[in-house]
Structure 1
Amino acid sequence: MTMTVMHDDTDPNKVRYGNAGEFGALVAKTERERGEAQDVPGVRMPADLERKQPDRMWSTRRSGKQGNTLKRFPMVGFVSVAVLAFLYVPMVIVVFFSFNGGKQALLWQGFSLRWYGEVFTNGAIINATETSLLVAVIATVLSTALGVLYVLAVDHMSRAGSALASMLINASMLIPEIVLGVATMAFIRLIGLAPGFVPLVLAHTTFCIPFVVMPIRARLATIDHACFEAAEDLGASGPVTVFRVTLPLLVPGIVSGALMAFVVSMDDFMISNFLTTAGTTTLPIYIFSLIRKGVNPSVNVVASLLLLLAVVVTVTSTLLTNRKSK
């Protein structure tokens, strides 16, 4: 909306201001002048500004009560509940039967913590868990560092180069994991390495990078570039701007990406299956070996603990992201 300032010594058809803030600044300036000289005329409020109602604050949040026709769509409520039940009821069943006192995984024979004790004292499960944790931590650190560097590099590319780089990084998430596993194993053999801990870490780092990049790029897209321009205007060099402005603003996305990479690495089975050896068995591989021998409640216990880890990481990521975003 364009507002015309009516002033005795200005032409109303020439002096125009784009918002009420600029008009208010002129009013304040004129009032100051009137305090210094009584013969200076004041500023008359335009009629359209007097009638104008305050602008409604823009928000991306939908109220859900106004203009929401989706809830009137036939059976949308039933379908929503059915989808949620299909996703979460099996998890609840697994957690429930992890407290089973019998030897059958899905045959309830009384409440007991017996199998939790079995899991926490089982040396093979502990070793597999330690291997998974070590691989996941190293892969998370490396993939997060590489993901941040990738995002900063892509942000300074041309539009065509940025689009090509984004397409390549996103394509790796669409390729079937079995294809990635075979390709990774072939590449490891080609460079003269044998399956083991180092190839496992390199593979996990590689497929975790896209999961790190997604939240970081989403965070960068929400940052006002005026922050970077202000840093340059104040004389900050490129490295100073990155370390003092860019990275602190990207912390929420970096935290979310790192936690996501950690969970993905802990849960990976397909690619790890091609690269593990007798001494580097990860927890998902060990769980699969237990299922092949015969399902018992210890499998439910391990699955419940992994589910608990995913819940803790998700809640922590959400809390840290919301806190850093304020």
Structure 2
Amino acid sequence: MAVCALALLPAAPAVAAPATAAATATTADADEPAVALSLQEAAKGAELGVTGTGWPAKTLVMLLVCGQNMIGGTNSCANSDGVAVAVAADGRFTARLPVVAPPKPCPCVVNVTSVNGDQSTVAAPFKITGHPVAALPEESGTARLALLTGVRLQGGDGVLTWFGAPPARTFAVTVGNLGSAPVKDPVFQLGTAHGVFAPGWEEVRWKGTIPPGGKAEVKLNVTLSAGAHGDYTVSLKYGDKVMAAQPWGVDRPYGVVLFWGLLLLVIPAAVFRAGMAVVDRVRPRPAPPGLPGVRGSAPPRTGPPAGPTETPTAVLPWFTPDSAPETAPQTSAPSENRSTTKGHS
């Protein structure tokens, strides 16, 4: 409470910040927390203007002067002379920080940490006149990554996936470093499991550094085999601990089913047409009419067409045309008025 009250008191004009002083920004992304210093170097007992942008609105941030680049945590900082200041609604804050000698030699930094927000941390390099400078010690401690937010599978299927192309997604998760040492280029294990089967793990390296108390969004690409479909589970492991798991339902590639269905219809139809073409080529052809010397053909007709032809009389094989019996004339039926001759009475 004393530190908070000190931060709200008006700053004493001990040392005015020169108007030509170059501000030091710690990040170029306007959406991320950033810190700017009014001076690059100052002597002990002076005051340093600190301006912040992009911080969580209506939260509290703590400003400390630390030595040895804050290796080892706040043990290298002047904790009793820190300043706490509230962040405005637009994510900005302005504070006056007294320049004091930290318990560790330089290189020094001005460390700004969000107290009740998302625990963002930004360190701006700063030089203290007359303060000893020593080589940085080797970083010690343990790194401990933990899951901060839920898992997300980003991306979707395209037209080629509908025809059996390998489904692909981006496995995104936000992790935080809860240890005392930074994590550089961590190696994760990404596993995919189909149904109730055990996952198959693959090592994937993420490029980046997560400082102690910091967080980062880790995005890893995951790809299944061609034609994969059904219920899958994607898991993320760091060390021997499974950090997160996310189910993934993959649709059946119905384009492949449609392709095989059409293929089963086209191939028999093509074989049938080819067989009919072969049969039509090898079957015997009837002789065209009118060719001489060919049995069953009629002689070519010459001259004008003849008149109506008489139907020939059928001749029995055991009669010659001359000996054929003559046809008796047909007698008419007896008349009713004609008297019938009967035998002698």
TM-score (norm 2): 0.17
| Structure with the larger strand share | 2
| Structure with the larger helix share | 1
| Structure with more contact order per residue of length (Cα contacts < 8 Å, sep ≥ 6) | 1
